[in-house]
Amino acid sequence: MPLGTLDRSPPPFFKQGPSALSKLIFFSALSLFLMVADVRFRITQPVRSALSTVLYPVQWLALQPVRLVRGSSAYFSGLDQATSSSEQAARRLALQSLRAGQVEQLMQENSRLRKILALREQLTTTVMAAEVLYDAADPYTRKIIIDKGLLQDVALGSPVLDESGVLGQVTRVHPLVSEVTLVIDRDLAIPVLNVRTGARSVAYGDTSQPGGGLELRFMGSNSDVQQGDLLTTSGVDGVYPSGLPVAQISKIERRAESAFAKIYCTPRALVTGARHVMVVKPVSAQIPARPQTSEPAVAPKKGTPK
């Protein structure tokens, strides 16, 4: 055999397998399938809950240095804050003592009017205290994680408040923690009531404002809104109790070329630094079930034996 006919290329040391392009197409199609299946059928929800439960001790250990630093800094600055807080508390106590008599009188009048008009008593609101662990990792949403979950009977859709107003709503519940979507998130909407005029509207999260805010949409250019108006929950959605502070109108743009006004609002809650929150049971879960009424007996037709 001539030497020129021999194959002089060395044999491959490792098996090559499928090509890189084939692997890219396969894993891309698998990723798209898993994303669509998770959005439509939520097939990964048990996996997320299991991972959240398993990783909770690791998250707790990772947060201990942060809590230690916060505690030490609070210890050194606590004396000055305690002195200023004491002075502010004395001034607030003087003001609250004046309003206490007015509130008592208004409560008595309110009770009498409710009895006269035969209005039903307000539903008892169940409140649960929780602590914010950290912000969600998704940079395109405004969400936080709290240390209460299914084991503490946190319901999906529960309103979340801080000391100033509505902070957000529970949108995902795990066994030990829960995910809260803030009011400034673009996917959250809250039915609100203008305290001054009594007009109802819907406030949407607006991430275009510095630090995040809310926007009143679909309000006519001639609507009776003013800068500084207070917006509270209207209670018509069956989720939020009525009368909770939500936001305050900060800016109004009335444009001649548009039939709607551009209304910007500032949230009352501390959406960027809340630490301790309250989880409220949804109003729809507190409404008693509708009583079953017996069907009226059908009268027999004429000419038929009874």
Quick check: 30 pLDDT over 80? yes
Per the listing, tokens 């990964």 go with 44
Q: Give residue 120's pLDDT.
A: 44
Cβ 245 vs Cβ 166: under 8 Å? yes
State the Cα–Cα distance between residues 72 and 76, nearest whole angstrom. Answer: 7
Question: How confident is the model over 196-219, as a mean pLDDT?
Answer: 89
Residue 12, token pair as written in the block: 């491959």
Question: How confident is the model over 53-66, as a mean pLDDT?
Answer: 88
Residue 30, token pair as written in the block: 């698998």
Question: How confident is the model over 94-121, as a mean pLDDT?
Answer: 68
Where b means 16+ CB within 10 Å and e means fewer, 273-301 reads ebeebbbbbbbeeeeeeeeeeeeeeeeee
Quick check: 119 pLDDT over 50? no
Residue 291, token pair as written in the block: 């009583």
Question: How confident is the model over 171-175, as a mean pLDDT?
Answer: 93
Angle, vertex CA 62, rays to CA 58 and CA 68, nearest 5: 140
- Per DSSP, the three-state class of 138 is coil
Per the listing, tokens 């199609």 go with 29
Nearest to 262 by CA among 190, 191, 209, 211: 209
At residue 284, what are phi and psi to the nearest 5 degrees?
Answer: -65, -30
State the Cα–Cα distance between residues 62 and 76, nearest whole angstrom. Answer: 23
Quick check: 302 pLDDT over 70? no
Per the listing, tokens 């630090």 go with 211
Question: Which of 23-27, 211-215, 263-267, 289-293 is predicted least confidently?
Answer: 289-293
Share of the chain above pLDDT 90, in %: 28
Question: How confident is the model over 101-109, as a mean pLDDT?
Answer: 75
**223-261 pLDDT, tens digit each:** 899 999 999 999 888 888 888 889 999 999 988 788 889
Q: H or E element: which one contains 245?
A: strand 245-253
Strand partners, 248: 230, 266
- Per DSSP, the three-state class of 34 is helix
Where does the pLDDT of residue 123 fall: very low under 50, low under 70, confident under 90, or very high at 90 and above? very low
Q: Give residue 94's pLDDT.
A: 77
State the Cα–Cα distance between residues 92 and 102, nearest whole angstrom. Answer: 16
Going by the DSSP 8-state scheme, the letter that residue 123 receives in this structure is: P
Quick check: 301 pLDDT over 60? no
Quick check: 115 pLDDT over 70? no
Question: How confident is the model over 25-32, as a mean pLDDT?
Answer: 90
Residue 238, token pair as written in the block: 């069956």
Q: Enter the pTM of the model.
A: 0.65
Cβ 162 vs Cβ 269: under 8 Å? yes
CATH class of residue range 127-285: mainly beta
Cβ 147 vs Cβ 176: under 8 Å? yes
